[in-house]
């Protein structure tokens, strides 16, 4: 009798699992971002449901549910606040011009306009970046917003933590947000407890919050944002850890780039942080937002947040638009070179029409699968006349874009499918020839520390290498 009950329970369990697999396959057909992904998941779920269903629940979805509603709420609130201020930022807004399809598309994707009158400071490597951030936070008089993908309880973490704790004890509102996957050790650290004791408001992003996100481990909040008093914002590639200062002997020199922006564009960084905070805590920050802005500089800046909750793959489209709009050059520095098919085709076409296409990646990428994928896409680009450089001055982690002599981007988005589709990212897009020239000088110095890859290198690779590249490409959507 017991055996019959067990058999019935197993049968019912299998039936439920097969039904769930069929429902998941239908969902994949309807909602997968790519036809290839829909086909792969459908075949796997219907053929091997016992294995594929748990994998689909964890890794299968590319749409982050619920966040967009919070973003809309923040945008409506900010619009009301801006309209109530007598000295608002409207005079600094750049109108969307139908004659400039590039900027029109980017404005619509960012869901906010660009602003004039900003001042930028390029921050190269960790010492310059964190010295500048610490100096700015020590001068805070009203509030500090502090968000990083990785925060470690090490020398750098404690150094910045002391500043945050001191300001909180002085009565300054301090909000700290971190990604619970990237900062999983920070969650149980002494540093976090000390910050909370000092009065810092600390919260994980809560990626798995919400019924449909509960099993998902595939999404990351990869943003790195610091805002002080609504006057200054810092955005770029660094996380908070000693290795970002080059203190890890195994990694060596860490090559990264941040930027500080002052002026009306800071509003965009505030809105991105406020949306993340509202999602994470289900509560608004108790900050007296001040939307009055001066014009400390001459740069036009678009703060470009992107996330997996939106209808479009915003980060990927940002790169795609920059590539197709380039007439002279498109230089991209990233620790990953794993684009999707559309962006790879755009790079190839740009190279074929005579644009100076350069991709700079680390000479020793992060992991063997990523390394093989980098080589696969390198071969495709070289065949069309594009150039790929492998940085040899340490580990290169910067995420920098340079288009022609006008547009430069510094942010958190890597040149890979994970940043295009799965991560929460943010990028400063700066339309200013002076700042672009500074970025050009920086990248040229990096290129001098790099070696240019040639097609002949593939002839000397092991016999298994082509198969390895092909297999690595299969994992491109989640690398």
> Would you state the pLDDT for residue 86?
42
* Spatial separation of the C-alpha atoms in residues 243 and 125, rounded to whole Å: 11
The separation between CA 367 and the C-alpha centre of its own chain, rounded to angstroms, equals: 19
Catalytic residue, from 173, 222, 231, 238: name it.
222
Percent of the chain with pLDDT over 90: 53
Lowest pLDDT segment from 8-22, 274-288, 340-354: 8-22
Q: Please tell me if the domain spanning 67-99+115-300 has the same topology as the one spanning 314-478.
A: yes
Q: Residue 83 above 90 pLDDT?
A: no
Instruction: Please state which of the four CATH numbers 2.102.10.10, 3.30.465.10, 3.30.870.10, 3.90.1580.10 is assigned to the domain occupying 314-478.
Output: 3.30.870.10
pLDDT band at 383 (very low <50, low <70, confident <90, very high): very high
pTM assigned to the model:
0.88
Residue-wise pLDDT tens digits, 321-338: 999 999 999 999 999 999
Asked about 222 being catalytic, the answer comes back as yes
> Would you state the pLDDT for residue 398?
97
Catalytic residue, from 70, 224, 238, 258: name it.
224
Domain ranges for the chain = 2-60, 67-99+115-300, 314-478
Q: Residue 287 above 90 pLDDT?
A: no
Catalytic residue, from 397, 416, 432, 446: name it.
397
Catalytic residue, from 125, 132, 179, 229: name it.
229
**Mean of the per-residue pLDDT values of the chain:** 86
Asked about 87 being catalytic, the answer comes back as no
pLDDT band at 23 (very low <50, low <70, confident <90, very high): confident
Which residues lie closer than 8 Å to 441 by C-beta, 6 or more apart? Answer: none
Residue-wise pLDDT tens digits, 40-68: 667 777 776 777 777 676 666 666 666 66
Catalytic residue, from 132, 399, 416, 432: name it.
399
Pairing mode, strands 337-338 and 395-396: unpaired
Name the fold adopted by 67-99+115-300: Endonuclease; Chain A (3.30.870)
* Spatial separation of the C-alpha atoms in residues 22 and 26, rounded to whole Å: 6
Asked about 397 being catalytic, the answer comes back as yes
Asked about 404 being catalytic, the answer comes back as yes
């Amino acid at each position: 009798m017991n055996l019959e009950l067990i058999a019935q329970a197993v049968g019912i369990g299998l039936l439920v699992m097969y039904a769930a697999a069929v429902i998941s396959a239908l969902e994949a057909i309807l909602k997968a971002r790519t036809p290839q992904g829909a086909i792969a998941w459908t075949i796997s779920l219907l053929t091997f449901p016992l294995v594929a269903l748990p994998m689909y629940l964890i890794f299968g979805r590319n749409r982050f549910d619920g966040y967009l509603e919070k973003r809309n709420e923040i945008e409506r609130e900010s619009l009301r606040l801006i309209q109530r201020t007598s000295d608002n930022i409207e005079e600094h807004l750049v109108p969307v011009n139908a004659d400039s399809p590039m900027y029109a598309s980017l404005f619509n994707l960012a869901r906010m306009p660009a602003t004039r009158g900003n001042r930028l400071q390029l921050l190269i490597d960790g010492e310059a970046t964190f010295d500048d951030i610490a100096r700015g936070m020590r001068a805070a008089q009203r509030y500090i917003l502090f968000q990083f993908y990785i925060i470690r309880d090490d020398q750098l973490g404690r150094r910045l933590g002391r500043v945050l704790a001191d300001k909180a004890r002085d009565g300054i509102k301090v909000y700290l947000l971190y990604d619970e996957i990237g900062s999983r050790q920070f969650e149980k650290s002494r540093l976090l407890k000390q910050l909370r004791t000092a009065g810092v408001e600390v919260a994980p992003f809560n990626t798995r919050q919400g019924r449909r996100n509960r099993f998902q481990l595939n999404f990351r909040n990869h943003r790195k944002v610091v805002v002080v008093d609504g006057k200054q914002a810092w955005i770029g590639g660094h996380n908070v850890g000693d290795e970002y200062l080059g203190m890890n002997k195994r990694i060596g020199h860490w090559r990264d780039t941040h930027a500080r922006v002052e002026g009306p564009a800071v509003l965009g960084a505030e809105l991105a942080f406020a949306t993340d905070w509202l999602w994470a805590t289900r509560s608004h920050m108790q900050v007296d937002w001040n939307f009055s802005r001066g014009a400390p500089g001459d740069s036009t800046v678009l703060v470009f947040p992107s996330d997996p909750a939106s209808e479009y793959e915003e980060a990927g489209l940002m790169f795609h638009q920059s590539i197709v709009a380039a007439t002279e050059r498109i230089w991209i520095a990233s620790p990953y070179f794993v684009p999707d098919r559309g962006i790879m085709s755009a790079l190839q076409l740009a190279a074929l029409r005579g644009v100076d296409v350069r991709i700079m990646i680390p000479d020793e990428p992060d992991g063997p699968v990523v390394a093989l994928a980098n080589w696969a896409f390198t071969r495709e680009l070289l065949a069309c006349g594009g150039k790929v450089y492998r940085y040899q001055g340490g580990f290169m982690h910067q995420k920098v874009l340079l288009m022609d002599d006008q547009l430069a981007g510094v942010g958190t988005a890597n040149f890979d499918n994970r940043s295009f589709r799965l991560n929460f990212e943010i990028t400063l897009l700066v339309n200013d020839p002076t700042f672009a020239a500074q970025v050009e000088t920086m990248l040229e110095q990096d290129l001098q520390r790099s070696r240019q890859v040639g097609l002949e290198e593939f002839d000397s690779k092991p016999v298994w290498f082509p198969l390895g590249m092909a297999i690595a490409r299969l994992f491109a959507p989640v690398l």
